Structure 1
Amino acid sequence: MTTASTTASATAFAGDFANASRDAWLAAAEAALKGRPLDGVISRRTLDGLAVDAITERVPPRVVVGRPAGARWVAMTRIDIGDPAAANAQALEDLNNGAAGLSLVFGEPGTSAGVAADTLDRLDQALEGVLLDLAPIHLDVAPFGGRQSAALATALVERRKIDPASVSILFGVDVLRDLVRTGALPRSWEAMCGRVAGAITGLSRRGFTSPVLTICGRSWHNAGASEVQELAGVLASATEHVRGLVAAGLSVETAADAVSFTLACDAEQFASIAKLRTLRLLWAAWRRESGLPDRPVHIHVETSRRMMTLRDPHTNMVRTTIAAFAAGAGGADSIVVLPFTSAFGASDWDARRIARNAQAIILEESNVHRVADPSAGAGAIEAFTDALADAAWGLFREVEAGGGMLAALTEGSWQQRLADARAARSAAIARRSAPIVGVSEFPQAGPPLAVVSEAGPAVAAAPALKPLAVEITDDVAGFDAMVSAYHDGASFADIRAASKPIPSVVAHPIATERLAEPFETLRARNEAAPSPPSAFLALVGPIARHSGRAGFIRNLLVAGGVDAVDGPVGAEPEAVAEAWSATRAPLAILCGSDDGYAQVGAALAAALKARGATVWLAGKPREGRDELAAAGVARFVAAGDDALDILRSVVDLPNRQSAGAAR
């Protein structure tokens, strides 16, 4: 299952190090960790159960063929400002300062979610000064707006009298993505495929060569998909589309050549690199199984939305930079880096500049694009690529055996797979075994940083509806009619009004959630409360003995918006209990070493409980837990516990209404 070229000799870089064997690396790692278990550091299992071993011997390079060696990927920027004039200003700013292409997000007049380029004049305004034969464009279309947007882009190319063959446009059509975004198809599956086939034929006759289908893995990713599910999902979706297009009259080769893919890359660097390499292998295998000649497929990447955070948003710069590097190293043909404030909605000029510059720095400083498949020969990534390919191909075959992706979506089985994966990942995040820096791990205390967002000026209302002079049918004639209508001044609304929906296929829309949302929602609610929840830290022993667990508890409490009140250091149990009485905190948490707990833990817990405190303890001592529980410790809190459950339990404890109340 490879589209690869193999070179006979590997790099001799590792040979520059004496004893550069796996055993030598393991010995060095064990020495550096000073007795800490090695397995959890250098190896792990993914959500799919695949083993990832960081220390793996190099193998002969197998170059996965994609973007040519030395060719830069297209560094795109996301243009989603509603007003076409403002969107144009941003587009020109980006293109004049390092961007090579644009991802144009289509919106509607009166909304802020995307450019209101719903007529030929407005699209022309949004792309004024953009040389379409030099700057590749990705159309990020509204649900079921792919054919309309493609026809509008066609009309613009014709208006400007540009050779269509010189234009690179990813037209963004994916009917199944739109089905799970809205819950229903506006026409039967067969009619929808007829529409797409008509668009492919109409564009081809005019001389366009870019792929019309952009099978979207972002939807699966943002709904919680694992790497295997994202890969199997796009493969099954592409297969369903090709099958429908063949039924609509296209050849298998024409339909397959119309396919491109969009994936999401996150801060799991090696997994993201392997995911892109795997997709190329899978699609090459698919083409061979279909009797088609090998041909590289365009892979467009957007940095992951689900990994973005509202709290401590500047940490998103690190996440998106890692993701962009991984996408480039993995062989992406075009990349969009989301601004670090994208979780807030609209992003300001500065956030967009930083996103644009991230790609420029990666390209100019790392030179990763100058090497064909930089990870070829890296044992860990090669092994993970093969494991992903086998697992994703197996899951793809399961979906096909069940009737294909359309059946999986209408039955709900695919949505259930994604929900199960999302639940498993959410559990790991809640336990902080999958920590989110700035949110669940190392959160900043205090109010959130102010983030400036710019929605842009108000967008003029949509033109009044007007009847079309042409009939919009579900075939190539209908596509040609749309192009003609746009030349005559028609809008998206006019086209929709001329083609009333007749829903016939329904599916449950997929749920999406950013990974940080549960922690962020809890913290925001607690910080906004008239009397935020709090917890008292009963510090056991000197700083050197209690600082580790006290720091662990403080981080945990801050992550949930719970105030931490430090008690006195080195005080007797009664003095600590007295200090607790002067606070409004209903909860006291013992923080110290196991030795300290053995010496004074039970007495301290008993004194606090006698005053009316709910008593918890940081850690799970190997000895004396029964005695501590008998003295009043109601819960032992340690790494690996469900942090969200702990924080919610703190919140559920009612605040004491008066400080210093007699106990």
Structure 2
Amino acid sequence: MTVPPEELRTAAGFPPTTRERWRELALGVLHKSGIETGSPEEALSSTTYDGVTIAPLYDASDLPDDPGLPGAAPYIRGSRPGGGWDVRQRHETADPEAVLADLENGVTSLWLALGPEDLPRALDDRIHLELISVTLDAGERTREAAEALFALAGRKGVAPTGNLGADALRDPETAADLARRCAEGFPGLRAVVVDGTPYHDAGGSDAEELGCSIAAGVAALRTLTGAGLTVDEAFGQLEFRYAATADQFLTVAKLRAARGLWARVAEVCGVTEGQAAGQRQHAVTSSAMMTARDPWVNMLRTTLACFAAGVAGADAVTVQPFDACLGLPDAFARRIARNTQSLLVEEAGVARVTDPAGGSWYVERLTDDLAGKAWEWFQEIERAGGMAAALDAGLVADRLADTWRRRSDNIAHRRDPITGVSEFPNLAERLPSRAQRPAAAGGVRYAQEFEALRDLADAQEVRPAVFLATIGPVAAHTARASFAANLFQAGGVATVTDPAVVSAPAVDPALIAEAFAASGARVACLCSSDRLYGEHAETVAAALRGAGAAKVWLAGKGDFAGVDANVHAGCDALDVLRTTFDDLEVAR
């Protein structure tokens, strides 16, 4: 019988290599691509909104300090040693049939954004509270909703579990009262949610969401201990909520970093062991990343986000329905949301391995870098007097607004592409109709500016259109014609071509002008190669002017007589679209 080796050395069958050898090979490829640089790391790196550098290559030298073991301080690798996560579905209406369908088909807990009068209906006699946990989200009516849940659980003869959803910043008195009650008589029930998602939904970065949440958590601790709870009891009353996005690595790093940051707070407060020291996390797929247009793509976004949250070790995960931006989800959307989690847990086996990203040089470095940026922001908030003072002074709002401006600029220039909206839009899509939500969602959405233009274009009796004046053979104009069509359609502007012009064997400015006049469009865009632009752009532009063109764009770069402006990779697509609406006399 073969005796297995004591140590399995990965890549043992391959010749050894070095970072320096990689740099030589990378430089060779970059030089062949026309990129002159002495540093492949600098040329191939990118930077997050927090200023964290994403390098093209990581090795063992990038590893930070030992992150510990799952279930042990500093809890970076998870607050629990193993197992799956709590599949938590959100409900905004008291629909007992929907609640029952969720619980019978994979959901293990409920997140109820309901008033106290709606709880008995949502949790009717068919719902066994001893088998599930309930998280409340009643806003200003938190105390009333909590009393309603206590009364309902009392009538059913069970002790409620979950979270009462109190906000220690908005209503410290209610948070303290409910926390005392939970600590004294309900060991499976927490009172306070520290919600980081509003900072994310304001356009903030990952480190900003983390720093704000840690500062809000510390403020909650001060409130609860000031009301008489011990430090251990206060820690045990908090649950943190974070946004999970389609950027799976940043999501994994964010949730891991959050636990490490909170473990540091616990250590400073003298809580180093036990359940209270480990941060309890509820991950929710990001509202900001969701789109109203091409909403089915949201299924892919939320799958990535859910996968990342599970890999990161979140205790509970909520997947938003794909139609969340359109109104209340229907039964199909709720089914897809819960089955996304069931597939990842049961079929993909994501929950079988604890912290599967642990040990990855990239993930460990990203976790540590993100935690460092978040801690700096947390300390700045603390120096301002704590979270409440920082909010009142506008420090937090100003910081988030600055990040949102930078993010908006990247979205406008399509450096942060949004599939189905700013890239690859479908003007022929038929959106599903959904019932209106009981309360409007707050925060920003990354797609909102493009979708506002789409809505405006759809509202016109005749859809705004731009004529694509293709020049030369198909091989010469296809790439730029496709690029221009993609850009204009992102704002709901149709693009028109003429088969005779597209397939013309020779460039005929008169034919192009005739086709433009017949199209009914008032704006044209030249599409061809740089060489053919040099030969024909000015004559074709003149012909289009003679046919009544109010504006002539050119797909690509270069200045030519008769051409007003250019569309090209990296241009401000939103500015191009708004200018086009103005040129077409569409009121904005």
Relative to 1, partners in 2 of residues 1:13 and 1:144: Cα closer, same or farther, differing over 3 Å?
farther
Give the percent of matched residue pairs that are identical in Structure 1 and Structure 2: 37
The residue aligned with 2:408 is: 426
Query: Which of the residues 35, 41, 46 maps onto 2:33?
Result: 35
Relative to 1, partners in 2 of residues 1:31 and 1:352: Cα closer, same or farther, differing over 3 Å?
farther
Relative to 1, partners in 2 of residues 1:552 and 1:143: Cα closer, same or farther, differing over 3 Å?
same
The residue aligned with 1:618 is: 555
Relative to 1, partners in 2 of residues 1:148 and 1:529: Cα closer, same or farther, differing over 3 Å?
same
The residue aligned with 1:92 is: 100
Letter of the structure 2 residue corresponding to residue 608 of structure 1: L
Alignment partner of 1:267 is 2:232:
no
Root-mean-square deviation (CA), in Å?
2.8
CA offsets, 1:119-161, max 9 Å, x none? Answer: 6643542xx323323222222x122233332222222222222
Distance in 2 (alpha carbons) for counterparts of 1:348 and 1:229? 34
Alignment partner of 1:525 is 2:456:
yes
Distance in 2 (alpha carbons) for counterparts of 1:194 and 1:341? 37
Relative to 1, partners in 2 of residues 1:511 and 1:90: Cα closer, same or farther, differing over 3 Å?
closer
Alignment partner of 1:138 is 2:135:
yes
Relative to 1, partners in 2 of residues 1:337 and 1:46: Cα closer, same or farther, differing over 3 Å?
same
8 A contact 1:522–1:561 mirrored in 2: yes
The residue aligned with 1:236 is: 215
Letter of the structure 2 residue corresponding to residue 103 of structure 1: W
Distance in 2 (alpha carbons) for counterparts of 1:311 and 1:120? 33
8 A contact 1:22–1:56 mirrored in 2: no
8 A contact 1:54–1:380 mirrored in 2: no
In the TM superposition, what is the alpha-carbon distance from 1:193 to its structure 2 partner? 2.3
Which residues of 2 match residues 318-357 of structure 1 at below 5 A? 318-357=300-339
In the TM superposition, what is the alpha-carbon distance from 1:418 to its structure 2 partner? 1.4
The residue aligned with 1:659 is: none
- TM-score between the two structures when normalised by the length of structure 2: 0.88
Alignment partner of 1:129 is 2:126:
yes
In the TM superposition, what is the alpha-carbon distance from 1:364 to its structure 2 partner? 1.6
Which residues of 2 match residues 35-74 of structure 1 at below 5 A? 35=33, 43-58=45-60, 59=63, 62=67, 63=69, 64-74=76-86
Alignment partner of 1:450 is 2:431:
yes
602-611 or 430-439, larger mean C-alpha shift: 602-611
Letter of the structure 2 residue corresponding to residue 526 of structure 1: A
8 A contact 1:119–1:152 mirrored in 2: no
In the TM superposition, what is the alpha-carbon distance from 1:395 to its structure 2 partner? 0.5
Distance in 1 (alpha carbons) for counterparts of 2:398 and 2:442? 10
8 A contact 2:281–2:316 mirrored in 1: yes
- TM-score between the two structures when normalised by the length of structure 1: 0.78
Query: Which of the residues 381, 391, 394 maps onto 1:412?
Result: 394
The residue aligned with 2:3 is: none
SS at match of 2:354: coil
Any unmatched runs of 5+ in structure 2? 1-5, 70-75
Letter of the structure 2 residue corresponding to residue 440 of structure 1: S
The residue aligned with 2:260 is: 281
8 A contact 2:183–2:237 mirrored in 1: no
The residue aligned with 2:163 is: 170
In the TM superposition, what is the alpha-carbon distance from 1:29 to its structure 2 partner? 7.8
The residue aligned with 2:72 is: none
Distance in 2 (alpha carbons) for counterparts of 1:337 and 1:148? 27
Alignment partner of 1:653 is 2:583:
yes
Query: Which of the residues 94, 97, 111 maps onto 1:103?
Result: 111
Distance in 1 (alpha carbons) for counterparts of 2:121 and 2:173? 28
In the TM superposition, what is the alpha-carbon distance from 1:645 to its structure 2 partner? 0.5
The residue aligned with 2:508 is: 572
Letter of the structure 1 residue corresponding to residue 207 of structure 2: V
The residue aligned with 2:73 is: none
Distance in 1 (alpha carbons) for counterparts of 2:15 and 2:85? 37
CA offsets, 1:617-638, max 9 Å, x none? Answer: 11114xxx3xx1xx21110111
Distance in 1 (alpha carbons) for counterparts of 2:363 and 2:469? 47
Relative to 1, partners in 2 of residues 1:376 and 1:201: Cα closer, same or farther, differing over 3 Å?
same
Relative to 1, partners in 2 of residues 1:526 and 1:39: Cα closer, same or farther, differing over 3 Å?
farther
8 A contact 1:123–1:156 mirrored in 2: no
Relative to 1, partners in 2 of residues 1:28 and 1:340: Cα closer, same or farther, differing over 3 Å?
farther
Which residues of 2 match residues 113-124 of structure 1 at below 5 A? 117-118=116-117, 121-122=120-121, 124=123
The residue aligned with 1:482 is: none
The residue aligned with 2:89 is: 77
Give the length in aligned residue pairs: 556
Relative to 1, partners in 2 of residues 1:16 and 1:422: Cα closer, same or farther, differing over 3 Å?
farther
The residue aligned with 1:584 is: 520
Alignment partner of 1:249 is 2:228:
yes
Alignment partner of 1:608 is 2:539:
no
The residue aligned with 2:569 is: 639
CA offsets, 1:317-338, max 9 Å, x none? Answer: 0000000000001110000101
Any unmatched runs of 5+ in structure 1? 1-8, 108-116, 180-191, 459-509, 657-663
CA offsets, 1:100-126, max 9 Å, x none? Answer: 22222214xxxxxxxxx526643542x
Relative to 1, partners in 2 of residues 1:67 and 1:444: Cα closer, same or farther, differing over 3 Å?
same
Distance in 2 (alpha carbons) for counterparts of 1:10 and 1:41? 37
In the TM superposition, what is the alpha-carbon distance from 1:640 to its structure 2 partner? 0.8
Query: Which of the residues 144, 149, 153 maps onto 2:145?
Result: 149
Relative to 1, partners in 2 of residues 1:269 and 1:21: Cα closer, same or farther, differing over 3 Å?
farther
Relative to 1, partners in 2 of residues 1:20 and 1:135: Cα closer, same or farther, differing over 3 Å?
farther
SS at match of 2:57: coil
The residue aligned with 1:393 is: 375
Query: Which of the residues 162, 165, 173 maps onto 1:194?
Result: 173
Distance in 2 (alpha carbons) for counterparts of 1:276 and 1:265? 9
Higher RCO (CA-CA < 8 Å; seq separation 6+): 1
Relative to 1, partners in 2 of residues 1:442 and 1:93: Cα closer, same or farther, differing over 3 Å?
same
Relative to 1, partners in 2 of residues 1:26 and 1:103: Cα closer, same or farther, differing over 3 Å?
farther
In the TM superposition, what is the alpha-carbon distance from 1:18 to its structure 2 partner? 5.4
In the TM superposition, what is the alpha-carbon distance from 1:408 to its structure 2 partner? 1.3
In the TM superposition, what is the alpha-carbon distance from 1:402 to its structure 2 partner? 0.7
8 A contact 1:522–1:560 mirrored in 2: yes
Query: Which of the residues 179, 199, 204 maps onto 2:183?
Result: 204
Distance in 2 (alpha carbons) for counterparts of 1:564 and 1:119? 50
